[in-house]
Amino acid sequence: MPESLRITAAEIDPQLLTLPWRVPLEDWPSENIVRLPKGISRHTVRFSELSGQVVAVKETTETMARREYEMLGALRRLEIPCVRRVAVIADRTLPTGEALPSALVTAHLSFSMPYRALFTHTLQPSTATRLVDALALLLVRLHNVGFYWGDVSLSNTLFRRDAGAFAAYLVDAETGELHEGGLTDGQREHDLDLARTNIAGEIMDLAASGRLDSDVEAIRIADGIVSAYRSLWAELTAPESFDMTEAWRITERVRRLNELGFDIDEMAIQTAADGTHVSITPKVVDAGHHQRRLLRLTGLDVQENQARRLLNDLDEYRARTGRSEEEEEVAAHEWLTRVFEPVIRAIPFDLRAKLEPAEVFHQVLEHRWLISEQREQWVPLAETLSSYIDTVLRHRRDEATIMGPPTETITAAVRTTSPDEVEGDWRDFV
């Protein structure tokens, strides 16, 4: 007689009990499998559906499953981009009583893609560079909170589009360690060396399978994470000295850190004994400066580069409408209801799985700049939107339905509004 399951879950979901836990994961029936692309893994991994969301199920030992479950919870509390933990399933057995591995269940990140799914035929140099830059920023964020990854690679990362760039999310925390006192230089360098080695191997693997553009050099791309990481880390942590007459450099340093998406928790400032020089050492809190500002002003929770782009459009709107700094929150509400939301509502329902709303808005702004340059005159947003839908959006693949949950699990049906219907909302302002 099989023993009962032991389930540890962050959220109670009765549908957890309906999955075939008494069957080895590699033998799960097709009705329990959602076919999505996945990265290379040393474990058996399958995607399934649970209460309207797609989940990833990984077989491993109970010790490793519980360890990773706790680590993902800790990283989420630290606001690190990573997959969300769902449950650990232990005491799995075959109907005959033979033991099966435990399973870790995590939520699949909607609109995310493994690096192999980001290109159709061959990996272009620009795409490879943007992936590595995103991974470098993620590694800096992890090291900044004292997390040693121990298995840095493209395969252990998911990517979401972020206003022309990519945002990287940690998928596999199995080998990770969280150090409250921070990491030593040796630990950081070891992680960085692992990243370089693994990325070079992954790029070479693409070359062997004929999926690499001839202009992409594996070693150069792998070296790119080292230089990108070192530049970011130095900007975040390196002390700086300057003459007392150059006090403006304190503001400049804060501005550069904000542009990278980081906020300042505190800054140690030390003056020289003769009063001629100042030394500063910033203490940086985690990234998300623009995300937090946009969330505070509008309630929109988006990627960092998307937030920067939306905030730029908000600032332009405020300038056009003559809103002062003191009226920022009023202007933000007007921009949200009269500019952003009408654009999103105007997207036909059957196209809403193509891209996330914030990415759509970013691309609409890019499209307006492009066609305005071609026509040598500023094109209204309503006209831009119609052009973007017909010439760009309709021809994209559905990144939500291919890479994540079906469309109907993402959003409830909303009446589709044509650009003509909503043009009056923004005619006077854009």
Rounded to an integer, what distance in angstroms lies between the CA atom of residue 40 and that of residue 45? 10
Give domain status of residue 185, yes or no. yes
3-state secondary structure (DSSP) of residue 351 = helix
Q: Are residues 131 and 212 in the same domain?
A: yes
Q: Are residues 123 and 36 in the same domain?
A: no
Q: Check which CATH number belongs to the domain holding 56 and give it.
A: 3.30.200
Q: Are residues 346 and 267 in the same domain?
A: no
Rounded to an integer, what distance in angstroms lies between the CA atom of residue 211 and that of residue 140? 29
Give domain status of residue 297, yes or no. no
Rounded to an integer, what distance in angstroms lies between the CA atom of residue 274 and that of residue 351? 66
- Cβ atoms 303, 160 nearer than 8 A: yes
For tokens 């792998």, the residue is 222
Q: Are residues 204 and 129 in the same domain?
A: yes
Give domain status of residue 10, yes or no. yes
Q: What is the pLDDT of residue 405?
A: 33
Q: Are residues 188 and 133 in the same domain?
A: yes
Give domain status of residue 410, yes or no. yes
Q: Are residues 26 and 75 in the same domain?
A: yes
Contact partners, residue 278, CB within 8 Å, separation at least 6: 241, 242, 243, 244, 247, 250, 269, 270, 271, 272
Give domain status of residue 295, yes or no. no
| DSSP per-residue letters across 106-143 | EE--TTEE-GGGG-SSSB-HHHHHHHHHHHHHHHHHHH
Q: Are residues 194 and 90 in the same domain?
A: no
Q: Residue 63 belongs to what domain range?
A: 6-108
Q: Are residues 308 and 420 in the same domain?
A: yes
Q: Are residues 127 and 58 in the same domain?
A: no
Q: Are residues 230 and 257 in the same domain?
A: no
Per residue of the chain (430 residues), what is the pLDDT tens digit? 346 889 999 777 888 888 999 999 999 998 888 877 565 667 889 999 888 788 999 999 999 999 999 999 999 998 899 999 999 999 999 988 899 999 999 998 888 888 877 765 566 777 888 889 899 999 999 998 999 999 999 989 999 888 777 889 999 999 999 998 899 999 999 999 999 999 999 888 888 877 777 777 889 889 999 999 998 898 888 888 877 777 677 778 877 877 777 776 666 777 777 767 777 666 666 677 788 888 888 989 888 889 888 988 898 888 888 877 768 888 899 999 999 999 999 999 889 888 889 999 999 999 998 998 888 888 888 899 999 999 999 988 766 644 433 323 333 333 333 434 333 344 444 4
Q: Check which CATH number belongs to the domain holding 176 and give it.
A: 1.10.510.10
Give domain status of residue 292, yes or no. no
Q: Which of 49, 83, 108 lies at the terminal end of a domain, its last residue?
A: 108
Q: Which of 69, 93, 108 lies at the terminal end of a domain, its last residue?
A: 108
3-state secondary structure (DSSP) of residue 198 = helix
Q: Are residues 218 and 123 in the same domain?
A: yes
Tally of domains in the chain:
4
Give domain status of residue 33, yes or no. yes
Q: Are residues 48 and 134 in the same domain?
A: no
Greatest distance between any 2 Cα atoms in the chain? 82
- Cβ atoms 234, 245 nearer than 8 A: no
Which residue type does 67 have?
R
pTM of the model: 0.72
Q: Report residue 237 CA to chain centroid gap.
A: 23
Q: Which of 222, 237, 252 lies at the terminal end of a domain, its last residue?
A: 237
Give domain status of residue 193, yes or no. yes
